[in-house]
């Protein structure tokens, strides 16, 4: 049975599913950022500055470490941004779920009212049929 809210419920459900998808994407981006950070940290710790040798070699290794630190800072900034995005997506999902549940309830309530109305109409029709049958039996037609 359909209701005046059925179309709205379908739309709200698709919006909720889209919000779930966006939240999953944000969580996936956070996982990727954490993995990149771990890889950069591993690479940073694997760079060994020579204790002896030419100054250019030492500068080169220090430059590598500086680049890894810069990359680490960038990834940490991206991680923070993605965490904020995840918070926003989580709030959007909560709102979408609330809206969906609200309209789902309204749809269910409307359908229940329609069913009750149909039952009352059916009861009236059965009463009318019973009255007609009673009248016809009393008059001797049946």
- Burial status of residue 89 (CB atoms within 10 A of its CB: 0-12, 13-18, 19 or more): buried
Structure tokens at 134: 């009673």
Tell me 5's DSSP state.
T
What CATH architecture does domain 6-114 belong to? Answer: Orthogonal Bundle (1.10)
Q: Which residues contact 133 (CB under 8 A, 6 or more apart)?
A: 142
State the pLDDT confidence band at 47, using cuts at 50, 70 and 90: confident
Tell me what pLDDT residue 58 has: 86
State the pLDDT confidence band at 1, using cuts at 50, 70 and 90: confident
* Cα-based distances in Å from 64 to 39, 44, 55, 110, 126: 15, 8, 14, 67, 90
Residue 49 has pLDDT above 80, yes or no: no
- Give the Cα separation of 35 and 22 in Å (integer): 20
State the pLDDT confidence band at 20, using cuts at 50, 70 and 90: very high
**Would you state the torsion angle of the CA atoms of residues 94, 96, 97, 103, taken in this order, to the nearest 10 degrees?**
140
State the pLDDT confidence band at 22, using cuts at 50, 70 and 90: very high
């Amino acid at each position: 049975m359909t209701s005046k809210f059925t179309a709205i419920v379908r739309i709200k459900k698709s919006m909720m599913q889209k919000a779930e998808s966006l939240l999953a994407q944000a969580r996936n981006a956070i996982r990727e950022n954490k993995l990149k950070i771990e890889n950069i940290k591993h690479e940073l710790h694997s760079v060994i500055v020579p204790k002896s040798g030419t100054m250019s070699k030492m500068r080169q290794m220090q430059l590598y470490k500086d680049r890894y630190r810069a990359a680490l800072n960038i990834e940490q900034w991206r991680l923070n941004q993605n965490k904020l995005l995840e918070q926003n997506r989580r709030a959007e999902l909560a709102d979408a779920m609330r809206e969906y549940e609200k309209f789902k309830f309204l749809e269910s309530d409307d359908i229940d009212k329609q069913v009750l109305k149909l039952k009352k109409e059916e009861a009236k029709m059965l009463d009318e049929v019973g009255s007609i049958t009673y009248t016809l039996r009393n008059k001797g037609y049946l």
